[in-house]
Amino acid sequence: MYTPLKLKKENPIVLGIESSCDETAAAVIQGRRILSDEIASSANIQSLYGGVVPEIASRAHTDAVAAVVERAVKNAGIAYADIDAVAVTYGAGLLGALLVGVSFAKAFAYALNKPLIAVNHIRGHLAAAYLDEPQLKPPFITLLASGGHTAILHARSEAEFDILGGTLDDAVGEAFDKVARVLGLQYPGGPHIERCAREGTPNIPMPKMLKGGGGYNFSYSGLKTAVINYCHTKEQKGETYSIPDVAASFQCAAIDVLVEKTVAAAREKGVNTITVGGGVAANGYLRETLARACEKAHLKLVLPEKRYCTDNAAMIAAEGLVQYGLGNFAEMSLNAKASIPLSVTLEKK
Ligand code: KG4
Ligand code: ZN
């Protein structure tokens, strides 16, 4: 059994393990510096089914996890004994998929007599910004835009966030995926919509999306339905439509409101830094639009590299580092959880 730490290190070496969806990932960081970052994805198989099949994801994780962790440690140029803590995503996500990472991390930590850290996947997305900008310190405003969440948060400290607003229905990533499916594009839809939108013009009117009102809340189900209705009506009339124009119009409507409200939140809170996290933050149009808006408003923007916006293990290690600093270590009885509230302060132990 792990013996409690007598002295916490200043820049510990943290191994992060992520298996909440269709990516098996492992990474090693030292302080906020990334030493290695490995990923094996079953997305190619999943795209044959138009979405993630949980059973296929679990089996792919089981096949990949040992080799991915081994590669991460080897490429970091360290020995197993050099690892100071093992951080693993315990939720939210697909239960069977999470269990693979959690079981592996528990066995690994136990065998090495190292502390185990339980990471909320969404907090991992928020912590990715620390790897991009090692000097970053709260307070800041974070735009969280992933497949399951859309929210604007006010980070008061590394561990304490206020949720200023969020989606009332679908997450923005979910809307990208559903619209992509209607347009006959592959899963995951976001990158395909982005590629397609580059060839199109945003000339199709879209619903207003709680633009002026709604505080910092969003609603994506109306936008999604408007796109679906547009396509179906055209098809019923036997008329053609431009898929690139639909993609561009949807993308602008979905992203512009996020950018507008995120900048407004920074102004209202008197905070001069904005960070982003989550798969949709890899979207080129979002990145360019937000960068321009921040420049205009004289705000500093921390924009993690695209690969650290989508699911990865370096961000799990980064959140592990935050929890290490707080001395929040998990028991060997740790279990996976399919859902954990976004109100991340609830997770304080
Ligand atoms: O954060 P993430 O990798 O997984 C979750 O925790 O949900 O986000 C996945 C979501 C998917 O809905 C995917 O379509 C979207 O992020 N996404 C994008 C882009 N890359 C991934 N959406 C828009 N543009 C992109 N380039
Ligand atoms: Zn994610």
Residue listed under structure tokens 């505080």: 215
Residue positions counted in the chain: 349
Topology of domain 13-127+309-326, per CATH? Nucleotidyltransferase; domain 5 (3.30.420)
Dihedral sign, CA of 318, 324, 328, 332? positive
Q: What is the pLDDT of residue 139?
A: 97
Q: What is the pLDDT of residue 348?
A: 40
Ligand 1 pocket residue status of 283, Cβ below 6 Å: yes
Beta strands in 206-340 (DSSP E): 273-277, 300-302
56 and 45 Cβ atoms separated by less than 8 Å = yes
Please give the average per-residue pLDDT across 130-147, as a whole number: 97
Q: What is the pLDDT of residue 343?
A: 63
From ligand 2's centre to the CA of 125, what distance in Å?
6
Look at strands 140-145 and 150-155 and give their pairing: antiparallel
Task: For 254-274, give the DSSP string.
Answer: HHHHHHHHHHHHHHHHT--EE
From ligand 2's centre to the CA of 108, what distance in Å?
23
Tell me the C-alpha distance between 203 and 239, whole Å.
Answer: 17
Please give the average per-residue pLDDT across 14-38, as a whole number: 97
Q: What is the pLDDT of residue 2?
A: 55
Q: Which class for 48: exposed (0-12), middle (13-18), buried (19 or more C-beta within 10 A)?
A: exposed
Grade residue 133 by pLDDT with cuts at 50, 70 and 90.
very high
Ligand 1 pocket residue status of 304, Cβ below 6 Å: no
Tell me the C-alpha distance between 104 and 70, whole Å.
Answer: 12
Q: What is the pLDDT of residue 241?
A: 96
List, for residues 196-208, the tens digit of each pLDDT value: 999 999 999 998 7
List, for residues 297-315, the tens digit of each pLDDT value: 999 999 999 999 999 999 9
Domain with CATH 3.30.420.40 in the chain: 13-127+309-326, 137-307
Q: What is the pLDDT of residue 177?
A: 95
Q: What is the pLDDT of residue 5?
A: 61
- Preceding peptide of 115 cis, ω within 30°: no
Number of alpha carbons in the 13 Å side-chain half-sphere of residue 261? 30
Pocket probe for ligand 1: among 146, 194, 251, the residue whose CB has the most ligand atoms within 8 Å is 146
Ligand 1 pocket residue status of 275, Cβ below 6 Å: no
Dihedral sign, CA of 53, 55, 59, 65? positive
Q: What is the pLDDT of residue 27?
A: 98
Ligand 1 pocket residue status of 194, Cβ below 6 Å: yes
Residue 245 pLDDT > 90: yes
The token duo for 109 is 């930590």
Residue 8 pLDDT > 80: no
From ligand 2's centre to the CA of 219, what distance in Å?
20
Q: What is the pLDDT of residue 341?
A: 82
Tell me the C-alpha distance between 108 and 21, whole Å.
Answer: 21
Residue 45 pLDDT > 50: yes
Pocket probe for ligand 1: among 119, 176, 185, 198, the residue whose CB has the most ligand atoms within 8 Å is 176
Give whole-number Cα distances, 274 to 138, 144, 160, 292, in Å: 10, 11, 16, 13
137-307 is classed CATH 3.30.470.20: no
Q: What is the mean pLDDT of the chain?
A: 93
Grade residue 345 by pLDDT with cuts at 50, 70 and 90.
very low
Please give the average per-residue pLDDT across 80-89, as a whole number: 97
Who wins on pLDDT, 52 or 212? 52
Ligand 1 pocket residue status of 188, Cβ below 6 Å: yes
Sheet with strand 161-166: strands edge to edge = 161-166, 150-155, 140-145, 273-277, 300-302
Q: Could you tell me the maximum CA-CA distance found in the chain, to the nearest angstrom?
A: 73
31 and 13 Cβ atoms separated by less than 8 Å = no
Q: What is the pLDDT of residue 335?
A: 96
Please give the average per-residue pLDDT across 245-268, as a whole number: 97
Q: CB under 8 Å to 260, separation ≥6 — which residues? A: 211, 293
Please give the average per-residue pLDDT across 239-260, as a whole number: 97
